Structure 1
């Protein structure tokens, strides 16, 4: 039997997860069975179970991928010179809006948050990812935020993390022009140069 490459395994795993996303967005988590996922993926049961031993494992994998992508994007925005918390968060908002248009990213997020109420492993993973995102945003805010506002960077980070779920909810449930200005509004509210104190006019 020929050896299967890591790239092939990654592709098959991604294929199964894409099929699961379609099923979950269309029918919800609880109305979707593993056999539904097997049919949607066009694979044998054995092939699917080789990658995921349960529906909960698929849900957790999708949640981890979604969260990791957003956290990575925020971190890369910081590392590539987009120093402001607004710039980093706005990039994340634009990313999730584009992803939602492609594969229902926002709908999956809402389903995952609901599922976390009954799934302790999923809830723990969500908390961990929010903690990582919070630390990244706090590092982005830096000392300049405290100088400007009197807020601790960690407190501002937690406020910003309230923006993302609200935006995902709106992207999922609302349509039209109303949402397009939100990333730019975030950039304006939390500008790029967070490390420079405001100039004195006295």
Structure 2
């Protein structure tokens, strides 16, 4: 039997998750059966179960994929700010969400995942883990901006990071439910609200 390459396994995993996204967006999590997923992916039950043992695993994998780009940006910026303001960092995160929503309806899936996380403990724990890592990266950035005079120092870095992180769900909800024109200028507004040290120094 020929050896299955990692590239083949990655492509098959993507095929399954893409099919799951389409099903979940069309019918919701609970109305989608495993048989629906097999048919949408055009794969046998065995082929799907080789990668995911349940719908819950697929939901968590999709949620993690959705969050990973946002996490990667905060990791990269935390390692090397390149002189960017907090507003620019937040605007970049919003731009990623917008682009991925156009390509994969990430915003719509995020809203479904939030609702599911209210009843699914493992999903809630996974979301808490990712959000915690993003919050930690933003906290590091906030501290550096506080030291540079770009953000107030009479409020904790953790509180400011949590406040900035609160922008993301509100933006995602609007992208999912409203006309794109409604939120088109939000990234620019975020840049203006949190300028760099030169514009917003002590």
Counterpart in the other structure of 1:63: 63
TM-superposed CA distance for 1:183, in Å, is 0.5
TM-score normalised according to structure 1 size: 0.91
Counterpart in the other structure of 2:121: 120
Counterpart in the other structure of 1:152: 156
Aligned equivalents of 1:101, 1:157: Cα separation in 2: 27
Native 8 Å contact 1:83 1:140 kept in 2 = no
TM-superposed CA distance for 1:80, in Å, is 5.4
Counterpart in the other structure of 1:50: 50
Native 8 Å contact 2:19 2:40 kept in 1 = yes
4+ aligned runs moved over 4 Å, structure 1: none
Native 8 Å contact 2:69 2:96 kept in 1 = no
Query: Structure 1: any 5+ residue segments left out of the alignment?
Result: none
Counterpart in the other structure of 2:186: 182
Aligned residues: 198
Aligned equivalents of 2:15, 2:122: Cα separation in 1: 23
CA RMSD of aligned residues (A): 1.9
The worse-fitting range, judged by mean Cα deviation, of 12-21 and 72-81 is 72-81
TM-superposed CA distance for 1:143, in Å, is 4.4
Matches within 5 A, 1:1-202: 1-78=1-78, 79=80, 81=82, 83-145=84-146, 147=149, 148-149=151-152, 150-193=154-197, 197-198=201-202
TM-superposed CA distance for 1:192, in Å, is 3.2
Aligned equivalents of 1:34, 1:82: Cα separation in 2: 48
Assess, with a 3 A threshold, how the Cα gap between structure 1 residues 88 and 23 changes in structure 2: closer, same or farther: same
Aligned equivalents of 2:180, 2:113: Cα separation in 1: 25
Assess, with a 3 A threshold, how the Cα gap between structure 1 residues 102 and 158 changes in structure 2: closer, same or farther: same
Query: Structure 2: any 5+ residue segments left out of the alignment?
Result: none
